[in-house]
Amino acid sequence: NKKYDYLIVGAGLFGSVFAHEATKQGKKCLVIDKRNHAGGNIHCENIEGINVHKYGAHIFHTNDKGLWDYVNQFVEFNRYTNSPVAIHEDKLYNLPFNMNTFYQLWGVKTPQEAMDKIEEQVKESGITDPQNLEEQAISLVGKDIYYKLIKGYTEKQWGRKATELPAFIIKRLPVRFTYDNNYFNDKYQGIPIGGYNKLTEGLLEGIEVKLGVDFFASKQEYESLCDTVVFTGKIDEYYDFRFGELEYRSLHFEHQTLDIENYQGNAVVNYTEAHIPYTRIIEHKHFEFGKQDKTVITHEYPAEWKSGMESYYPVNDEINSLKFKQYNKLAEKEANVIFGGRLAEYKYYDMHQVIASALKHFKN
């Protein structure tokens, strides 16, 4: 008999939810993570009493009442509503594109006026068969929204000109003809009161966790301890990169503590001009309606990913998708390893999706 039923590699959301469910069923789990903290990318660092989202801004949102209740059993969520603003040439615009934005762009006040304006610009463009992202966006929303709010931001994010990006990246550009700045359409959204670490702590309560441990440094030893491995690290690394490395887009964060109470009045401000090197500034205290004397802001820069860097967004182009398929074929044949989470499935997952996936994997 092995010491553990499950060895869980990665204390992120996937690993933590899986460990929690397995423990509840009387299974013995060991969770390891190579970082010196649990939580994976939702981990926050407390600076000046403010929960700083170290790996990017995280806003929980879902339409699924079951998932909302699930997370709220560990920590109560607040009523934070994501309503980012965008700055372009010193002018401020509400996001997502809605009646406030259209008023700011054109001075129009009624939905009909806004619809007419967009239709007029779409017609004027004459684009019927968009060949790249730029043409695609203009054919959907016209030139004003595109040039002021989409072009620069998108080019920074992808590190390429919009005319060199494929049209399929943008399938739809949601526009709303109501005065509604709520970024998400989901029924439930919020931030854990006291921060995301509370969620992680709740999930991992009573479970053995070892931090600062890389699975690959003593793989055989760890495997010998358990019946089943739940692997939430990179699938290509698991197989020694034999089909080549899966590529990602990365980000670079610059955190700053400022000796003022309120820097920008909003948690998220996007900078949509191409010549400004960062894409957004996050002011963390506003996620929790903080009243601290100081504030912490983060400039978020897109970064070309190189091996060894933090992997944020999978690049789901043809080459990488093919590579992933090859790895996944091997993974499917493993009898005692479960692969799950954003790195093992090489997939962009929102938090509620990764929780749903972990719950489903455990059931199976």
Site for ligand FDA, residues 172 to 211, rule: CB under 6 A = none
For residue 56, state whether it binds ligand FDA (rule: CB under 6 A). yes
79 is catalytic: no
Question: Residues 313, 249: contact at Cβ < 8 Å?
Answer: yes
Longest dimension (CA), the chain: 72
348 is catalytic: yes
Q: Which is nearer to ligand FDA, 60 or 188 (CB)?
A: 60
For the bound state, the minimum distance from the C-beta of residue 46 to ligand FDA, rounded and expressed in Å, comes to 18
342 is catalytic: no
In angstroms, the CA 338 to CA 357 distance is: 12
208 is catalytic: no
Q: Which is nearer to ligand FDA, 134 or 283 (CB)?
A: 283
- Burial class of residue 48, CB neighbours in 10 A (0-12, 13-18, 19+): middle
Site for ligand FDA, residues 268 to 327, rule: CB under 6 A = 312
Kindly write down the DSSP assignment for every residue of 99-154, as one continuous string. HHHHHHHH---SHHHHHHHHHHHHHHHT-SS--SHHHHHHHHH-HHHIIIIIHHHH
Site for ligand FDA, residues 12 to 51, rule: CB under 6 A = 12-15, 32-35, 40-42
Q: What are 3's two structure tokens?
A: 């010491």
172 is catalytic: yes
DSSP state of 25: T
For residue 96, state whether it binds ligand FDA (rule: CB under 6 A). no
300 is catalytic: yes
> Please, what is the Cα angle at 14 between 13 and 18, to 5 degrees?
115
Residues 4, 6, 8, 10: which binds ligand FDA (CB under 6 A)?
Answer: 10
DSSP state of 164: G
In angstroms, the CA 312 to CA 30 distance is: 26
What are the helix (H) ranges across the chain? 13-24, 65-72, 99-106, 111-125, 133-141, 143-145, 151-158, 196-204, 219-224, 235-238, 318-333, 351-363
For the bound state, the minimum distance from the C-beta of residue 239 to ligand FDA, rounded and expressed in Å, comes to 13
Residues 98, 101, 154, 232: which binds ligand FDA (CB under 6 A)?
Answer: 232
For the bound state, the minimum distance from the C-beta of residue 317 to ligand FDA, rounded and expressed in Å, comes to 18
- Burial class of residue 283, CB neighbours in 10 A (0-12, 13-18, 19+): buried
Q: Which of 4, 134, 280, 349 is catalytic?
A: 280
For the bound state, the minimum distance from the C-beta of residue 195 to ligand FDA, rounded and expressed in Å, comes to 14
Which range of residues in 8-16, 90-98, 152-160, 186-194 is near ligand FDA by CB under 6 A? 8-16
Q: Which of 247, 300, 342, 349 is catalytic?
A: 300
Residues 44, 95, 149, 351: which binds ligand FDA (CB under 6 A)?
Answer: 351
Task: Give catalytic residues, as residue numbers.
Answer: 172, 176, 249, 280, 300, 348, 350
Q: Which residues are near ligand FDA by CB under 6 A?
A: 9-15, 32-35, 40-42, 56-60, 214-216, 232-233, 251, 312, 341-343, 349-352, 354
